[in-house]
Amino acid sequence: MQIIIFGSPGVGKGTQAKILASRLGIAHISTGDILREAIKRETELGKKAKEIVEKGELVPDEIMAGIIRDALKDTRCNNGFILDGFPRTIDQAKLLDTIFHDLKIGEPFLVKLDADDDVIVARLSNRLVCSKCGNIIQKNEYKNDFVCPVCNSSDSYYKRKDDDEEVIKRRLKVYHDTTSQVFSYYTNRLRVIEIDGTRSIEVVTEGILSQIKKS
As for how many domains the chain has, the answer is 1
Mean pLDDT, the chain, rounded, equals 93
Residue 30 one-letter amino acid: S
Residue 165 forms part of a structural domain: no
Q: Which domain holds residue 21?
A: 2-116+179-214
Residue 43 forms part of a structural domain: yes
Residue 122 forms part of a structural domain: no
Residue 150 forms part of a structural domain: no
Q: Cα–Cα distance between 136 and 138 in angstroms, integer?
A: 7
CATH number for position 73: 3.40.50.300
Residue 200 forms part of a structural domain: yes
pLDDT tens, residue by residue, 127-185: 999 999 988 898 999 988 899 999 999 989 999 888 999 999 999 999 999 999 999 99
DSSP 76: G
Residue 153 forms part of a structural domain: no
Question: Positive or negative CA dihedral for 64, 88, 17, 58?
Answer: positive
Averaged pLDDT, 80-99: 96
Q: State the Cα torsion 75-80-83-89 to the nearest 10°.
A: 100
Residue 66 forms part of a structural domain: yes
Task: Tell me which residues are annotated as active site.
Answer: 13, 88, 127, 160, 171
Residue 138 forms part of a structural domain: no
pTM over 0.95: no
The residues near 68 (Cβ < 8 Å, ≥ 6 apart) are 29, 31, 34, 83, 86, 96, 99
Confidence grade of residue 212 (pLDDT, cut at 50, 70, 90): very high
